[in-house]
Amino acid sequence: MINRLLNALAVPISILAIVYVWLFIPDETMKFNEKITFSIAVVVMAATWIGAESSRRASIISQKTLENNLINSRLSYFEQQYNSLMTLHNNLHTSVCEYLDSDDKFANNNKVVSLGGKSFFKNIRSMATLEEAHNTLMGHSVVSPYMRVLYHLLKHIFTFSDEPVCFKKYTSPLRSLIRNDVIYLIALNASIIYKEKSNEYNGYEEYQRYLQKCKFFEHGIFLADEYKKFDEIRKKFDYLFMTEIESNIKNAVKKYIDTFEIHEVSFELPKDLILCMIYENPFSLDIDNKIKETYKFVQEVYEAQMSIINNKISEYNEKLNSVCGYYEEGGNSTVCWLVNDLNDLRNVIFDQKDNFEFYFIAQNGNLINAQNMFYYMEDVDKDESLVKLHNKNKENTKIEIACISQNAKRELKEIINKNKVTL
């Protein structure tokens, strides 16, 4: 902008300078030949400036033209290679799909000669760990070539540009072509990024990084073979999360309530649930929210368990207080009505706890043997003592509940970090 302004003002300023010298500077101060020399110098300076600026602008235009040509040439080469790899990918994807749809081959004696793709995929589905599934996919005669081409295609895209708009432009058509069962195999193939029993990368981390960056699995379903009846798939996800994660947290809370000791929360999660945790997919938001709300969940479990204990105490006390008499079966004794005193009742229960022929009579006419009554009384005593201790320990309980929550979150994050590459 400044250069353009100076270029526009070069001629007017030169003219003004020359006019000023000739009209306002006396000959006594500046001689005639000096004025001529000055005028010539100003004209030459102005012409030089204009010429230099014109050359600079021509150079800039030339440079931009060259850069545009290089960009266009690079883009042309990229798209040529992209189309070639895309064609190869599509051909191999077709081969993989045909294989996954194939049945087992049988001999004349009905013995299986070779397993088809359906059996292979079913076997992969049934595997418990990511490691087992990942190792099974490695070196597979049909699946492995496809995985390698997909990797090179993604690498080609990200080598050309790391801009989200650009790689989304070229990866979106790619993802739309891939069947969900193949998507599932891709996720498994890139799920193990470290060498066995080591913190060193195994070579798959770059592959997964490409997949993570382009959100390759944002519509992928890992818990079912097809994207059908999503509500049912969600129920399956909720059930898995409840049985595999929330149940372990509940057990840790129950142990704490019984022992006042903080136990470690450990998880052995099925591979499909781990896939939901390490890749962005339709359940990512649910998982993030559930992990964030771990403390709230632990607190709710604690309160629910304490409520159950209090209800048990009420129930047992109701049973104890409902007793109005007793008798001994097989004896000559008659029914004796007990004094309406819980302490007396407790003494009788304790004295007769090993007498299988001794029965207590409830107000509703039901009979309860002495041993069961003793268990009721024992449970009441234990639970009441437990409740008293927890009420006395309220401040520490808040801290210890937070510790259980932190332990659970840490374990879950370790599982995620073990299998998820850092972007």
What is the per-residue DSSP string for 177-226?
HS-HHHHHHHHHHTS--B-TTSSSB-S-HHHHHHHHHTTTTTT--SSSSS
Positive or negative, the CA dihedral 331, 337, 339, 345 is: positive
Is residue 177 assigned to a domain? yes
**Backbone phi and psi for residue 185, each to the nearest 5 degrees, phi listed first:** -65, -35
Do 28 and 119 lie in one domain? The reply is no
Q: Which amino acid is at 393?
A: N
Q: What is the pTM of this model?
A: 0.76
Is residue 354 assigned to a domain? yes
Residues 6+ apart with CB under 8 A from 319: 362, 368, 373, 376
Per-residue pLDDT, 364: 83
Task: Say how many residues make up the chain.
Answer: 423
Segments forming the whole domain that contains residue 345: 233-423
Alpha carbon 287 to its chain's center: 7
**What is the spatial distance between Cα 276 and Cα 80, in angstroms, rounded to a whole number?**
35
Alpha carbon 45 to its chain's center: 68
Mean pLDDT in residue range 408-418: 94
The pLDDT tens digits of the residues spanning 188-208 come to 999 999 888 788 888 899 999
Dmax over Cα atoms in the chain, in whole Å? 157
Mean pLDDT in residue range 348-355: 86
**What is the spatial distance between Cα 220 and Cα 206, in angstroms, rounded to a whole number?**
20
Q: What percent of the chain has pLDDT over 90?
A: 49
Do 169 and 282 lie in one domain? The reply is no
Q: Which amino acid is at 310?
A: N
Is residue 228 assigned to a domain? no
Do 75 and 94 lie in one domain? The reply is no
Do 423 and 295 lie in one domain? The reply is yes
Do 252 and 151 lie in one domain? The reply is no
Q: Residue 358: enclosing H or E segment and its boundaries? A: strand 358-362
**Backbone phi and psi for residue 170, each to the nearest 5 degrees, phi listed first:** -95, -20
CB of 106 closer than 8 Å to CB of 244: no
Is residue 357 assigned to a domain? yes
Is residue 276 assigned to a domain? yes
Q: Which two tokens stand for residue 148?
A: 């390698």
The pLDDT tens digits of the residues spanning 300-348 come to 999 999 999 999 999 888 888 888 878 777 656 555 666 567 788 888 8
**Backbone phi and psi for residue 360, each to the nearest 5 degrees, phi listed first:** -105, 145
Do 309 and 340 lie in one domain? The reply is yes
Going by pLDDT thresholds of 50, 70 and 90, the confidence category of residue 153 is: very high
Per-residue pLDDT, 358: 85
Do 286 and 188 lie in one domain? The reply is no
Per-residue pLDDT, 299: 95
CB of 192 closer than 8 Å to CB of 204: yes
pLDDT above 80 for 228: no
Is residue 219 assigned to a domain? no
Comparison of pLDDT for 113 and 384, the residue scoring more: 384
DSSP 8-state class, residue 335: P
Distance between start and end Cα atoms, the chain? 41
The Cβ of residue 357 has, within 10 Å, a number of other Cβ atoms equal to 12
Per-residue pLDDT, 274: 96
Per-residue pLDDT, 216: 94
CB of 155 closer than 8 Å to CB of 210: yes
CB of 242 closer than 8 Å to CB of 287: no
Do 201 and 281 lie in one domain? The reply is no
Structural domains of the chain, count: 3
Do 256 and 374 lie in one domain? The reply is yes
Per-residue pLDDT, 197: 78
